[in-house]
Amino acid sequence: MNVALLTAGGIGTRMHNEIPKQFINIDDKPLIVYTMEKFQSHPSIDYICVVCLDGWHEILKAYAKQFGITKLKWVVSGGKNGQESIHNGLMAIAQECGEDDYVMVHDGNRALVSHDIISDSIRICKEKGSAVAAIPCTEAIFRCEDAENTCANISIPREDVVRTQTPHTYPIGKLLWAHEEATKRGITNTAASCVLMQELGETVYFSSGSEKNLKITTVDDMQIFKALLHVEG
pLDDT the model gives residue 191 = 81
So what's the pLDDT on residue 154?
86
Q: Which residue has the higher pLDDT, 143 or 215?
A: 215
**What is the total count of domains within the chain?**
1
**Domain harbouring 99, CATH code:** 3.90.550.10
Long-range contacts of 20-26 (CB under 8 A, 24+ apart): 20/53, 20/56, 21/109, 21/216, 21/217, 21/222, 22/108, 22/109, 23/56, 23/59, 24/222, 26/222, 26/225, 26/226, 26/229
Check the CA dihedral 17-22-27-29 and report its sign: negative
Confidence category of residue 149, pLDDT binned at 50, 70, 90: confident
The pLDDT tens digits for 152-192 are 888 889 888 999 999 999 999 999 999 999 999 999 989 89
pTM tops 0.85, yes or no: yes
CB atoms within 10 A of CB 68: 12
Is the pLDDT at 233 greater than 60, yes or no? no
Question: What is the reported pLDDT for 13?
Answer: 46
Question: The domain containing residue 32 runs over which residues?
Answer: 2-232
The string of pLDDT tens digits covering residues 1-45 is 999 999 997 655 444 456 788 999 999 999 999 999 999 999 999
Q: For residues 172 and 90, give the distance between their C-alpha atoms in angstroms, rounded to a whole number.
A: 8
